[in-house]
Amino acid sequence: MFEESVSLTEGYTKTPEGDILPPLKLLAEDKGAYTEYRIWGTEIEGLYLWDRKKYDDDRGSYQELYKDELERVVGRKIDIHQTSLSRNKPRGVLRGLHGEPMDKLVTPLNGVVFIAVADIRPNSPTFGKYITFTLDQRDDEKNKKSIFVSSGLANSFLTIGDKDGEMFNYLYQTTDAYKTSEGKRSVKWDDPDLNIPWPIEPTIMSRVDAAENKSLRSLFPQKFP
């Protein structure tokens, strides 16, 4: 199941910068000198990739990580209630799959990360499907990409960078405050019905993520006749 490199799944592409991305559809863009951005849709409704230009000068650089153009694509108000920073060992840390009832805008800041998002909305036409992103942010000169995860989707990530690299930082912007257990719906990271192709074996997880999250079948038995 586990390999020491990320394989290129059918339909996925590897960018010149080293990211591995799923099939994407351009939904909105602006090519202005100081407003350049692109928002891409995926096969799963409510899951978007958002890419804003980084502006460099003699001082360093500047990049915005959230503006209301995302609301126009999603079609509703997105009120960011909390911003959190997750720090993790650079390789082998897995968090997820977490399906809290809130929208999330997540932005890897450094290192290399494998992100998997599963649709666990029982009434969705893509229920049981997943999409992955491999983002390589080891080059700090690259602009940061963000992923918007709509409420009801289950997100996760696995750090796959260099073992002796720097701590991996992950920025969360959410429409509700984080709660350790209340209202959380999570799925086993190795759920056999999802069968997510994790590129390396996770070595560090919370006790809950390692052994206590439920399977997709136990959460939604009506979807598995």
- 102-143 residue pLDDT tens: 999 999 999 999 999 999 999 999 999 999 999 999 998 899
Q: Higher-confidence residue: 188 or 185? A: 188
Give domain status of residue 28, yes or no. yes
- 187-225 residue pLDDT tens: 999 999 999 999 999 999 999 999 999 999 999 999 998
Give whole-number Cα distances, 216 to 168, 207, 209, 220, in Å.
29, 19, 14, 6
**Cβ-based burial of 182 (10 A; exposed 0-12, middle 13-18, buried ≥19):** exposed
Q: Do residues 162 and 90 make contact, with C-beta atoms less than 8 angstroms apart?
A: yes
Give domain status of residue 7, yes or no. no
- 4-26 residue pLDDT tens: 455 567 789 999 999 999 999 99
Give domain status of residue 3, yes or no. no
Give domain status of residue 204, yes or no. yes
- At 10 the pLDDT is 79
Full-model pTM: 0.92
- At 1 the pLDDT is 37
- At 6 the pLDDT is 54
The DSSP H or E segment spanning 72 is helix 69-74
- Given a cut of 60, whether residue 181 has pLDDT beyond it is no
Give whole-number Cα distances, 86 to 23, 43, 94, 149, 200, in Å.
28, 27, 12, 17, 20
- Given a cut of 70, whether residue 96 has pLDDT beyond it is yes
Domain tally, the chain:
1
Give domain status of residue 134, yes or no. yes
Instruction: Please give the mean pLDDT across all residues of the chain.
Output: 92
User: Can you give the CATH number for the domain in which 160 is found?
Assistant: 2.60.120.10
- Given a cut of 50, whether residue 173 has pLDDT beyond it is yes
User: Helix, strand or coil for residue 177?
Assistant: coil
Give domain status of residue 73, yes or no. yes
Give domain status of residue 188, yes or no. yes
Q: Which domain holds residue 170?
A: 13-223
Give domain status of residue 1, yes or no. no
CA separation for the pair 131, 115 (Å, rounded): 8
